[in-house]
Amino acid sequence: MQVRNFSIIAHVDHGKSTLADRILEHLGAMGERDKRDQTLDTLELERERGITIKSTPVRLNYTRPNGEKYVLNLIDTPGHVDFNYEVSRSLAACEGVLLLVDASQGVEAQTIVNAYLAIDSGLDIIPVVNKIDLPAADPEGAAQELEDVVGIPAEDAIFASGKTGVGVPEILEAIVERIPSPPGDPDAPLKALIFDSVFDAYQGVIVFVRVLEGQLKPKDKITLFSNGKHFEVDKVGTFSPGLVVGESLTAGDVGWVAAGIKDIHDAQVGDTLMERERPITDPFPGFKPAQPVVFSGLYPTDTEAYRKLREALEKLKLNDAAFSFEPETSEALGFGFRCGFLGLLHAEIIQERLEREYDLDLIATAPAVIYRITLSNGEIFETQNPAEFPTRDRVDLIEEPYIKLSVMLPEEHVGPVMQLLQERRGSMVTMNYLGKRVELIYEVPFAEILYDFHDRLKSISRGYASMDYEIIGYREGELVKVDIYVNNEIVDALAVIVHEDRAYPLGRKIVDKMAEVIPRQMWPVPVQAMIGGKIIARATVKAFRKDVLAKCYGGDISRKKKLLDKQKKGKARMKQIGTVEVPQEAFLAVLSTED
């Protein structure tokens, strides 16, 4: 029986999961009872948001009209830029891909990036123009655009509809015809690539593998290449799309292995499994570890839940190798973790999964990027936490990460989008006309697109613009740390790093917000934003004022003055010994401000 390993890649919302449903349905992999939309989206969150977050594998049996039998291993992948890492892992386990393009929207930013990912991995590409049943569909135009932009011949494209199932038989034939069977010798020493893993309370870590050489059976003695730890295989199997126990996995197969791996740190994604008796010397090159680029603090609202949060983070990290965390403390919020993400959507998804799947109540601090600081003594260090920022007199140079941002949009929206990019300190690299659409390529500081950039881009372009980005390195920037003082005492949790030009408006915003939410005291409380020793913005929480003149009905003015002076002295004395308690709601109000 011949094997074909393939993946479906596309821009977000171009119909990958729906087309996968039709393929499963056509091959009878879904019984009537199991039928539902987005079968391969297993997380509740994926189904709710209508996006794929995790790559999901499934094994299918296909018999051609001439009676030849094939095993198809399909891996459905995410389309959003934040989950690009999931795509690269899935492609390492395949020989070919279906590249989907929406017939009405054409080639988008992420389509190009995913196509080049597949080309760089040396995979065979089958172009599919999806959603041809839409009223605004232009299948020939989309196929031509694919040829003009990516260089894939338009005549190779298959026209299909994930909704109605049109084109599915042609896609299955193309997979068998155009994608090569996986190489590999079943008798060679075992070499299997770990491309994902999940934690099971009863079986420990279950690793998802692509067997490159050799075979895997229960009772086999295996070793992890990276750390040399030994295990005995308990069960092996395939995906249907749930875990199905099998007898063995052989070269070319995609499947899962349970080997009593208790420690979630042992099964690293990208590692290679080998036989204990016949070890190999050259592991699979793996993938370069995903580097988190956005950092945010996560703190439990109840300090008792700290240990529960740590356990939840460790389990999530196992299933999401691109996520990282380390403990940190804050005077305002207590004990928590500094977490690293691939982008804002990734951060949002992780927080939501922690709250839902592990029943945690969390506070997230404002996201930040990694800054590189050169001190006056020549020492260089990196930080994303404003609390670790050195004083200005010790700093020689501050650098911030830059990204190469690619935006695809219709011609009529180019002006406003260019204006938005200039506001965000972007500098234009090039502008390409692709038919009726324009591709803008800019170099922008990463910190500038962290908050509301994507929402602004979508609203300016009426939803037609799509974006993709890659980190291109560090550049010097005029960056300053803005400290917030309440009643002349510094509040560490509210410090921010910002470009000099944006320091005043941001400082102004924070102090005004704090002044609104801090409860009034018996004396005026100053809230100040400072850079170094210089105050750039100030707001005052007004004092309660008791009407001490209420009992004076007329009479001499000196009597009124005497009462007011007495009140003044009492307030001054209270101010000397009084400190302000800032409620947690005040921090939440500031930390959750979108800008």
What local confidence, expressed as pLDDT, does residue 264 receive? 65
Q: E strands along 361-511, which residues?
A: 362-364, 371-375, 380-383, 395-410, 427-434, 437-445, 466-476, 479-486, 489-490, 496-499
Is 133 annotated in a binding site? The answer is yes
CATH 3.40.50.720 assigned to domain 482-591? The reply is no
Please give the full DSSP string across 447-475, using - where no structure is assigned: GGGSSSHHHHHHHHTTT--EEEEEEEEEE
Fold match flag (371-476 vs 482-591): yes
226 is in an annotated binding site: no
Distance CA 232, CA 196 (A): 19
16: annotated binding-site residue? Answer: yes
Tens digit of pLDDT per residue, the chain (595 long)? 688 888 888 776 667 777 877 888 887 765 443 444 444 444 444 444 444 444 567 888 888 888 888 888 887 665 444 455 556 666 777 888 888 888 887 777 777 777 877 887 788 888 888 888 878 778 888 888 888 877 788 777 888 887 787 888 888 888 888 888 888 788 888 888 887 777 777 888 888 888 888 888 888 888 888 777 888 888 888 877 677 888 888 888 888 888 888 776 677 777 788 888 787 777 766 555 566 777 778 888 777 788 888 888 887 776 666 677 888 877 667 788 888 877 777 777 788 878 877 888 877 777 777 888 888 888 888 877 777 777 777 878 888 888 888 888 878 888 888 888 888 888 888 888 876 778 888 888 888 877 667 777 877 877 777 777 777 888 887 888 888 888 777 777 677 788 888 788 888 888 888 777 777 776 678 888 888 778 888 888 777 666 666 667 677 777 778 777 877 776 665 555 456 666 656 666 665 544 4
Residue 385 marked as a ligand binder: no
pLDDT score recorded for residue 586: 62
513 is in an annotated binding site: no
pLDDT of residue 572: 62
Rama region for 334: left / alpha / beta (φ>0; ψ in -120 to 50; rest): left
Report the C-alpha gap between 77 and 448 in whole angstroms.
28
State in words which class domain 2-178 has: alpha beta
Mention every residue, 6+ apart, whose C-beta is less than 8 A from residue 455: none
pLDDT of residue 86: 52
Asked whether the beta carbons of 29 and 120 are under 8 A apart, the reply is no
- Burial class from Cβ neighbours inside 10 Å (0-12, 13-18, 19+) for residue 417 reads buried
The pTM assigned to this predicted structure is 0.63
Q: Give the architecture (CATH level 2) of 191-275.
A: Beta Barrel (2.40)
| 14 labelled binding-site residue | yes
Q: Is the dihedral of CA 216, 218, 222, 226 positive or negative?
A: positive
Fold classification of 294-364 is Alpha-Beta Plaits (3.30.70)
80 known member of a binding site = no
Report phi then psi at 519, rounded to 5: -65, 150
The domain locations on the chain are: 2-178, 191-275, 294-364, 371-476, 482-591
Fold (CATH) for 371-476:
Alpha-Beta Plaits (3.30.70)
Task: Supply angle C-alpha 227, 228, 230, rounded to 5.
Answer: 120
Residue 15 known to bind ligand: yes
Length of the chain: 595
Q: In the prediction, which pLDDT does 548 show?
A: 62
